[in-house]
Amino acid sequence: MDKLKVYEYNQIKNLVSEPLKLYRTNDIRSHKNHKDLLLNDIELMLEVKNIDSTDFIKSLDDASLSKKKSEFLLQKLKIHVEEFELPSSAVISKLFKKVKKLKVPDLVLIDRKEISFLSWNDLSGNRKYFIYFVCQNKLDNFSSSMKLINTSNGVL
């Protein structure tokens, strides 16, 4: 059984939120067609990774599906997600060699099954930092300046 990539899990997460929006409308024919299409997409994504999807699909195919229940189902699916490999603080410092006082976020607090890249804001230096994988196990990075936006005057 293969593990889901984080982006695949996020795609399933977005597809699961669609039936919640569907159940708010009253057109039964469009419900059924759209719901069948969404459930088929989810089922195909899970079958490609050899993950048993029958219980998950049956649970989603319920008109009384709530946001809380869908979040519970996604938590159960999360065990099949491959974790994002976070680099150590030393590796992060090497990626941003030119930054003298780099403030790295607390990596322990990050849910590695929810992210596909790492980014954080350094408010003291007005910079935003990104770390992502270009290819398998090859890290890349970039940073950009942040501009303060004054919205009190309606000017961006």
Dump pLDDT digits (tens) for 51-79.
888 898 998 888 788 889 999 999 999 99
Which conformational region is residue 51 in: left (phi greater than 0), alpha (psi within -120 to 50 degrees), or beta? beta
CATH 1.20.1280.250, the chain: domain bounds: 6-80
Q: 6-80: what fold? A: Monooxygenase (1.20.1280)
3-state SS track over 51-112: CCCHHHHHHHCCCCCCHHHHHHHHHHHHHHECCCCCCCHHHHHHHCCCCCCCCCCCHHHCCC
Dump pLDDT digits (tens) for 110-150.
888 988 888 888 888 888 888 887 766 666 666 665 444 44
Rounded to 5°, the CA angle 20-71-17 comes to: 30
Separation CA 80–CA 3 (nearest Å) = 5
